[in-house]
Amino acid sequence: MEGIMNMVGQVGRNVIQSVAKLGDATLFALATLRLLFAKPWQGKHFVMQMYAVGVGSLIIVVITGAFTGMVLALQGYHMLVKVGTEALLGPWVALSLIRELGPVLAALMFVGRAGSSITAEIGIMRVTEQMDALEMMAVNPQARVMLTRIIACAISLPLLVAIFDVVGLFAGYLIGVEMLGVNGGVYIGETIDKVGMIDIQAGITKSIYFGLLVGIICTYMGQRATATTEGVAKATTRAVMLCSVMVLVVDYIITSFYL
C-alpha cells in the first residue's frame, strides 16, 4: 500500500513540476516576444541569426528534400501504376510534400541542426557568465540573445520548408518523368490542377508554428539549463527531444483544422 502511495505521490509531483515548467516557459515566451516592440530594434542581429540558423541548415534541408521527393515518386509510382493512375504521381508527390512531409521533415532537420546549437550556445553563455556580462553592459540578453533567435527560427523555417518543397518536387519530377517514364506534361498539369492555395497555406502555417515552437523551446531550455557542462548537455538533449515530439503533436493539431 505504501509503495502505491509513493508511486502516486511521485506521479503527482511530476505532473505539478511539468505544469509549473509549462507555465514558466509560457511566461518566458510572452516576456521575450513582448520585447519585439521595444527599443532598441535588433534588426541587424535578426539578420545575423537568420544567417546562422537558416543558411546553416540549408544543405541538410536540400539533401533531405531531394531524397524525400525521390522516394515519394518511386514509392508512389509503384503503388499508382497497379491501379492505372500513375498520371496522379505529380499531385501525390506535391501534396505529400507541401502539406505534410515538407514542414515536418524540414522542422525535424532544423531542430537537429539549429535548435540544438541554440540551446547549447545559450547554455554555454550562461555557464561562462556572458549573459551577465551583457546585462552589465546594459544590453538586455533576453532581447539580444533570445528574441533574435526565436524570430530567426520563425522566419527561417518557412523559407527552408519552401526550399525543401521545391527541391522535393524537382527530385520527384526527375524520378517520375525522366526515370519512370510518366508524361511530363501530365505530371505538371495534374500537379497544378490538384494542388490548391489551401494546401500551400497549410504548409506555411505549420512551418511558422514549428519555427516559433523550436525557437521558444530551444532558447528556454538553454536559459534554464543548470550552469554546468552536464547541465548544458542535458538541456540540449531535452530540447531536441521535446521539439521533435512537439512538432509531431502540433502537426496533428493543425492538420485536423485543415481537413
Partner 1 sequence: MIKTQALVRSFDGVKALGGIDLHIEKRKVTVIMGGSGSGKTTLLRLLAGLEAPTSGSILFAGEDLASVSKKRLYELRMRVGMVFQYSALLNSLDVYENVAFPLHEHTDLDESVIQTMVTMKLEQVGLRGFECMMPSQLSGGMAKRVAFARALVMDPQVVFFDEPTSGLDPISAGVVSTLIHETTAKTRMTSVVVTHDVEAGLKIADHVILLWQGQVIAEGSPESIQQSEDPRVQQFIKGEPNGPIPFSRSQTAYIDDLMHKPGCVRMA
> Which residues of this protein are in contact with partner 1, per CB under 8 A?
128-130, 132-140
DSSP category for residue 39: S
Judged by beta carbon, residue 82 or residue 230, the one nearer partner 1 is 230
How far apart are CB 151 and partner 1 at their closest, in Å? 18
**Within 13 Å and on the Cβ side, how many CA atoms surround 216?**
19
How far apart are CB 16 and partner 1 at their closest, in Å? 17
How far apart are CB 135 and partner 1 at their closest, in Å? 6
Per DSSP, the three-state class of 84 is coil
Q: Residue 7 burial by CB count (10 A; 0-12/13-18/19+): exposed, middle or buried?
A: exposed
How far apart are CB 133 and partner 1 at their closest, in Å? 4
Q: Which three cell numbers stand for residue 213?
A: 515552437
Q: Rounded CA gap, 115 and 109, in Å?
A: 9
Judged by beta carbon, residue 97 or residue 218, the one nearer partner 1 is 218
Judged by beta carbon, residue 139 or residue 192, the one nearer partner 1 is 139
DSSP category for residue 41: P
Judged by beta carbon, residue 93 or residue 146, the one nearer partner 1 is 146
How far apart are CB 134 and partner 1 at their closest, in Å? 8
Residue in the block written with cell 546562422: 52
- Count of CB atoms within 10 A of residue 248's CB? 12
How far apart are CB 93 and partner 1 at their closest, in Å? 41
Per DSSP, the three-state class of 1 is coil
Contact 86, 58 (CB under 8 A): no
How far apart are CB 156 and partner 1 at their closest, in Å? 18
Judged by beta carbon, residue 131 or residue 153, the one nearer partner 1 is 131
Judged by beta carbon, residue 11 or residue 133, the one nearer partner 1 is 133
With a CB cutoff of 8 Å and minimum separation 6, the contacts of 50 are: 152, 155, 156
Judged by beta carbon, residue 171 or residue 225, the one nearer partner 1 is 225
* Exposure b/e, 214-239, CB count within 10 A at least 16 = b: bbbbbbbbbbbbeeeeeebeebbeeb
> Is the four-CA dihedral 172, 174, 178, 184 of positive or negative sign?
positive
